[in-house]
Amino acid sequence: MGRTRRRIPSVVPLALSVVVAVALSGCSDGGGKKDTSEATAKDFLAKWQAGDIPGAANLTDDPAKATTQLTEAGKQLQLRQAEYTPKSYSKDNGTLTYSAKLTVQGIPQPIAFDSAVPVVKKDDKTVVKWQSTIIHPQYTEGAKFSNTRKSPDRAPIQDRDGKNLAGATPAVAISLWPAQMGNNAEAIYAALSDPVFDKDIPKLRDTVAKSNPDQKVPVVTLRKDVFDSKARAKLAPFGAAIKLDDITLQTSDKAKQLVGSVGDADADTLKKPGYENAAAGDQVGKSGLQARYQAQLGGTPTSKVMIKGPSGQEIATLASTEGKPGTAVKTTLDPRVQALAEKVMAENTNGMNASIVAIDTKTGGILAAANNPASGSNRAFEGHYAPGSTFKTVTAAALIQAGLKPTDPAACDPTVVVNGQTFKNYDGLQPIPNANFGTDFQQSCNTGFISQRDRIQNDTLTKVAGDVFGIGQSWDVGASTFDGAVPPADSPNKKAASMIGQGDVQASPLVMASVAATIASGTFNQPYLVDDPALKKVASKPVDPALGQQLKSLMQSVVQGGTAQMLKSIPGTVGAKTGTAEFSEGGKILTNGWMIAFKDGIAVAVIVEKGESGGKAAGPVVQAFLSAV
């Protein structure tokens, strides 16, 4: 028997035909062409969000007008970042709704609202129908955004006793109002080319050209006495084109590199984290603690973002913030010790580049730091130097932990050869055949130290430097620092070099001052400059008492009969270690002179760049400092 065949219906069921029709209507304009309206609106939002104003404008029916209004709106708002999120598209009216989230310079919280992007056909092409209300529903033709603000007084930076390190100085902030410059523009630029203003005029022209003509463009801030005597008359003829604001500057006579400077906010500065509450024309931190703690010191301005009509009438308020004053930053600096550190840098370094750091041995608080010259980078904290023989304090700790005693024999020979490389002592040190390890430390004998290299492993110095002295860990001091590097040796030669603070070993004066402080107190306390707000510091760690006492006695012996006898007459418990570190420059081998020391509760490190030796170059600086501290 054959099977009966069933007929396939010749008509598609209605339900299925409806589904197909709906599906097709979503991708066709009825003439068989794909409907790109929603995609065009989304592309417009994506390019606008990415900052591609020309690209977004070219998707509209009026690219020139769209470019102008989108650009002006961003300038008026002082827009930092924008997020435009598509919501729903309506085929009935050809409109894509979206939600906006705008981050505006100087306004703490984002501004949020909804708007819509209409789409039309033009010359058989889908385009955005440009209208200013795309930017904001109430941003009608002729309207402008207004971002007004008043900054609070800047909070001070204080010393350890709560007294201001940065004092108040009357000043005048000079700005241009582009819309008012008119025919006087060239005369204004000519006046501002005077050296008293210290301005790059071509760069200023470019800034003005790119700025909102109805908002002031910062030019320079001058002390009020300088403005009155040298600048006021030059700017007087230009009336409303010049905006003058009386302000108070935070200036410091002490610890200038640590406290840092304050100046006019520029575009590059405002992009940095911590400057979200600041805006063009504000006085903001440019360096040092002033920059690190900008958000805290600068406070929150009283601000209001509005849409205003063509006649200046208020149409809508988009954001309003009640300002808050800044709060002080309290440091660990001792003004007397800081003044002394700056004095010895100026008077005892023979004009050579040098740095000094002083630390409270009981807490790790930084009492003073200074450099000569007192400009440029803060080498006392950030310098990368071979520490030379001052690092023998760390090597001594490693060898003592490995079982070596200060009384154990360790001949100080003229040279020692390691894997074909010859190491020698500093010029002037005579051989000491019957030396023990304590004598090697006291006289800073390289060969005596290197002869003990088999007692430690390639990574021993790395471990001891980190575990006992905190070197190479990440220190939050409250300022930018280099916290040292002691990488494991990858050869016998590298290990030998590391034992005397050469090779790949690197440290800053701050790191070596901390080594001296750890030995003096018997506890590693991470150095820190800022006391309030509190920092997340590396945990303090006691040194093994027996080890700590031996290291302290070794440093005291250097003062009593070794390379730091210039400190012998200083009263109190005094210990030291000298160092002469070699480095290469221009094909020549040069040296930096180091000394680290402690006196009772203060530890200090000094480096004199290109100094002949630690004793000759750094010794007089440490002597002058510890004699007066």
For residue 111, the 8-state DSSP code is: E
For residue 340, give every residue at least 6 positions away whose Cβ sits within 8 Å of its Cβ, in sequence order, or none.
368, 625, 628, 629
pLDDT at 88: 96
In tens, the pLDDT along 546-579 reads 999 999 999 999 999 999 999 999 999 999 999 9
The DSSP-derived string for 365-422 is: BEEEEEEESSSSS-HHHH--B--GGGGHHHHHHHHHHTT--TTSB--B-SEEEETTEE
Q: How far is CA 106 from the centre of its chain?
A: 20
Burial class (CB in 10 A: 0-12, 13-18, 19+), 219: buried
pLDDT at 136: 97
Which H or E element spans position 454?
none
Superfamily of domain 21-141: NTF2-like; domain 1 (3.10.450.100)
For residue 239, the 8-state DSSP code is: G
Q: Do residues 561 and 586 make contact, with C-beta atoms less than 8 angstroms apart?
A: no
Q: Do residues 502 and 452 make contact, with C-beta atoms less than 8 angstroms apart?
A: no
CA distance 565 to 215: 65
The angle at the Cα of 542, spanning 537 to 546, to the nearest 5 degrees, equals 160
pLDDT at 152: 87
Superfamily of domain 150-302: Penicillin-binding protein 2a (Domain 2) (3.90.1310.10)
Torsion of CA 25, 28, 29, 31, to 10 degrees: -110
- Which strand ranges, in their side-by-side order, compose the sheet holding 144-150? 144-150, 302-308, 314-321
Q: Do residues 137 and 58 make contact, with C-beta atoms less than 8 angstroms apart?
A: no
pLDDT at 292: 96
pLDDT at 12: 31
The angle at the Cα of 476, spanning 349 to 614, to the nearest 5 degrees, equals 25
pLDDT at 579: 97
pLDDT at 282: 84
Listed as ranges, residues in the chain with pLDDT below 70 are 1-33, 167, 250
Which H or E element spans position 363?
none
The angle at the Cα of 394, spanning 390 to 395, to the nearest 5 degrees, equals 95
pTM as predicted: 0.78
Rg (CA), the chain: 35
400: tokens are 């003592």
Closest CA to 279 of 173, 192, 193: 173
Q: How far is CA 547 from the centre of its chain?
A: 38
CA distance 41 to 225: 57
CA distance 25 to 6: 34
pLDDT at 167: 65
Closest CA to 451 of 486, 515, 386, 404: 404
Any bridge partners for residue 436, and if so which?
A: 409
CA distance 387 to 385: 6
**Which amino acid belongs to residue 22?**
V
In tens, the pLDDT along 159-187 reads 999 999 876 778 898 999 999 999 999 99
pLDDT at 15: 30
150-302 shares its CATH topology with 335-628: no
In tens, the pLDDT along 300-331 reads 999 999 999 999 899 999 999 899 999 999 99
CATH architecture of the domain with residue range 335-628: 3-Layer(aba) Sandwich (3.40)
Q: Do residues 533 and 296 make contact, with C-beta atoms less than 8 angstroms apart?
A: yes
Q: What residue ranges do the domains of the chain occupy?
A: 21-141, 150-302, 335-628
